[in-house]
Structure 1
Amino acid sequence: MPPLSTVDFTTTAEGVAFYRAYDRVLEKWSIDVTCVDLASQYGTTRVNVCGPLDAPPVVLLPGAGATSTVWFENVAALADRFRVYAVDLIGDAGRSIADGDRLRSVDDLMFWLNAVAEAAGLTDFGLVGHSYGAMIALAYALREPDRVRNLVLLDPNSCFAGMRAPYLAHAVPLLLRPNEKRERDFIRWETGGQDIDEDWLDLLARGAAYFPKSKTIVPKRPKRSALDELAVATTAILAANSKVHNSGQLATIIAESLPRLRSIVVEGATHHTMPMSPAAELNDALINALSAR
């Protein structure tokens, strides 16, 4: 893959199709949304914003490749109580443009998220992350506890326990040689035949196959001593049918070793569809977690 700075992805046939798919999913947001581009030393970050101007702010970080559009089943419920900032991860699929300094370390990743918050005028905020976004969110809350009002981790992988070997085995071919079919097959395997929004799956598959991504920076799983010092009100919302980990066992691990953290298991949810389904239960859990003090 050529360096990001030399690829004008927006003008390619694949790029045009990807952004059309992005816009189709964004149109599913049943609420007025403002698209904002925030500058930092790493490039321009696209943030989709909705909700009352004077409401408490909440920042949403999606899973890898999912883009900020993935929250279409959640934003209306959240925007009743919060000012929502849904972020396209820079260097990942979406409308953020990684044309500045490259993200080379977890420090850079944290500096980037700080820059996004500052550009948006946020001094403290609720922080929600799903999957890879949960890894970023947890690392950020450990480093910047004064800035994070509440932390919500949706089916967090590699935050409190490792991932299952079968999940990793299915993911490896996709990571080595991504294409649309492999992405679709992987998601359908993990979700066990659940109904999946076809527009979102099309966006995810096109992003996996064609989007010129940066190297993914992965925060390490925090040590127990670091988690013991986590000062932010934190809720882990786990998908009962996740193939990433055994959610029942993970809930037990959290309860026994990290009693200050709260965990909830949502029945019927899978890892990759969690932001979208089951929407009513998830939205109630999100609102309760973000309202806790």
Structure 2
Amino acid sequence: MADRRLDCERAQRALLERWRLPVERIELDSGFGTTAVTACGPRDGEPLVLLHGGSTTSAVWFANAPALARTRRLYAVDRIGEAGFSRPGARPPRTTADLHDWLDTVLDGLALPAADLLGHSYGGAIALAHTLERPHRVRRLALLDPTQCFSGFRPGYLLRALPMLLRPTAARARAFLRWETAGLEPDPAWLELYGRAAEFPSARPIVSRRPPADRLATCRTRVLAVYAAASRAHDARRALAATQRLLPAAETALLPGATHHGLPYQAAEQVNRLIEDFLAKP
């Protein structure tokens, strides 16, 4: 296990070097363990907390951090119990309520009474759930191809993912990633980290139910939802339509050619511009 952790951390450091800007490692202790946060950007910039997708780490923001950190103070979080620099304690998060409490400890540790959230995939689901549960802590919410928020997974995607979930190996993880990215070769350093992360022992993902329509109707937070048109995780057009129906005030966008796991680095220029424009509005 120690060797796998070191291999995974080496892969994460290699991807962090792609950020091409000074970063600071912050470690936040709580009853859940030690949460590692990679911070960058002007210290007086408005805070933006980044929540990565499943089976990955905070290093995945390599194509976005240089642009977003020009004006924002970024805090990219490694979730406890998954690959990355965070370390679980005696009571790691095991329920959705734990996830909310854990994220509160992160915001408290960063001295952020409220912040903007940016989440991809599973990180987007956590960000949306936290927005609904703790609306006073989220100023604005940006979602990149969020899963289990407004629509479900494609059955074919889950079937393809099953062997990797039952017996994860780097080879299976990388083959799955290549399949989902629809023939577009994934970034080599990202592919290396994804494979290493798959073999790293971690807690089971905390799966929460999709928010019901009446719960979403209570949302008063400004929301941006960006979908990958070529996503194999779900039908992006249906997910976008459901977002517009359930959150009529939300801003939405569909990125042609982008895939679920290819975000946030695929179409990075468009992704960054959409996020920057959204956050610049009062």
- Secondary structure of 1:146's counterpart equals helix
Matched residue count: 282
What does 1:133-212 align with in structure 2 at a 5 Å threshold? 133-209=123-199, 211-212=200-201
TM-score, L = length of structure 1: 0.94
State the Cα distance separating 1:104 from its structure 2 match: 2.0
Q: Deviations over 1:134-156 (max 9, x none)?
A: 11000000011111111011101
The answer on 1:227 being equivalent to 2:206 is no
TM-score by length of 2: 0.97
Matches within 5 A, 1:45-60: 45-60=35-50
1:66 and 1:286 mapped to 2: Cα distance?
A: 21
CA distance in 2, matches of 1:284, 1:162: 27
Query: Quick one: distance in 2 between partners of 1:146 and 1:291?
Result: 20
- CA distance in structure 1 between the partners assigned to 2:224 and 2:198 by the alignment: 29
CA contact (8 A) 2:216 2:246 kept: no
| Deviation per residue, 1:48-97 (Å, 9 max, x gap) | 00011111000000001210000000001111121000000111110100
CA separation of 1:240 and 1:42: change in aligned 2, threshold 3 A: same
Does 2:95 correspond to 1:113?
no
Unaligned runs of 5+ in 2: none
The Cα offsets for residues 136-182 of structure 1, whole Å up to 9 and x where unpaired, read as 00000001111111101110111001111111110111111110111
In structure 1, C-alpha distance between the alignment counterparts of 2:279 and 2:82, rounded to whole Å = 26
Contact map agreement 1:142 1:226 (CA 8 A) in 2: yes
2:203 corresponds in structure 1 to 214
Question: Does structure 1 residue 22 correspond to structure 2 residue 12?
Answer: yes
Contact 1:54–1:83 (8 Å) recurs in 2 = yes
Give the distance between the partners of 2:277 and 2:162, measured in 1 at CA.
Answer: 36
Identity %: 41
Check conservation: 2:80, 2:92, Cα contact below 8 A.
Answer: no
Q: Is the 8 A contact 1:233 1:292 kept in 2?
A: no
- Matches of 1:19 and 1:257, distance apart in 2: 40
Out of 81, 85, 88, the position equivalent to 1:91 is 81
Structural mapping, 1:264-279, within 5 Å? 264-279=253-268
Q: Which residue of 2 aligns with 1:236?
A: 225
RMSD: 1.1
Deviation >6 Å, runs of 4+: none
Q: For 1:290 and 1:278, locate their aligned partners in 2 and report how far apart those are by CA, in whole Å.
A: 18
Correspondence for 2:244? 255
Q: Is the 8 A contact 2:151 2:238 kept in 1?
A: no
Partners of 1:15 and 1:153 lie apart in 2 by 29
> Which residue is 1:4 aligned to?
none
Task: Mark the CA change 1:112 to 1:257 in structure 2 (over 3 Å): closer, same or farther.
Answer: closer
Q: For residue 135 of structure 2, give the secondary structure of its aligned residue in structure 1.
A: coil
Q: Report Cα offsets for 1:97-146 as digits up to 9, x if no partner.
A: 00231312111010000000000111111101101101100000001111
Partner of 2:92: 102
